[in-house]
Amino acid sequence: MLSSKIKIAKKYLIAYLAPTLWAIFIFFLSAQEVLPGFTVSAYDFIFKKAAHMFVYAMLYFLLYRAYQKTNPHDHSSKIYLIPVLITLIYALTDELHQSTVPGRYSTLRDAGYDMLGVATVLLYQLKLI
């Protein structure tokens, strides 16, 4: 019985290691006072918003994959919904974190770009795009 609990714990640890490391990477980026960018403001805007979309699309996908691996018999909409909710909560708390970093500010608009990246992956998974 103890070995089966260890196997389950190991399964969860392995499944959620990648999304945890990716979340730490996002936290590290948010803690930077200045992020690299372009001198032309339009290019800078596009680059930074695309970066928001990319890092959160990846976080969602890694969470989705982890949830799928740890709940292989779940074929309900929870397989999509739970990773989306976790990603949304992380995006919002990341904006709060960013508000404490000198030189940075938080906006709900950035969380919207984060979720646009998530929505892109989700729509692709559902074969809607």
Give residue 120's domain range. Answer: 2-125
What pLDDT sits at residue 41?
86
What are 4-63's pLDDT values in tens digits?
888 889 999 999 999 999 999 999 999 988 777 777 788 888 998 999 999 999 999 999
Residues 47, 38 contacting (CB under 8 angstroms)? yes
pTM: 0.90
What are 50-109's pLDDT values in tens digits?
999 999 999 999 999 999 999 999 999 999 999 999 999 999 999 999 999 998 888 999
Please tell me the chain's helix, strand, coil percentages from 3-state DSSP, rounded to the nearest 5: 75, 0, 25
Residues 84, 118 contacting (CB under 8 angstroms)? yes
What pLDDT sits at residue 105?
85
Structural domain count, the chain: 1
Q: Give the integer Cα–Cα distance in Å for 62 and 110.
A: 20
Residue with tokens 């949830």: 67
CB atoms within 10 A of CB 12: 13
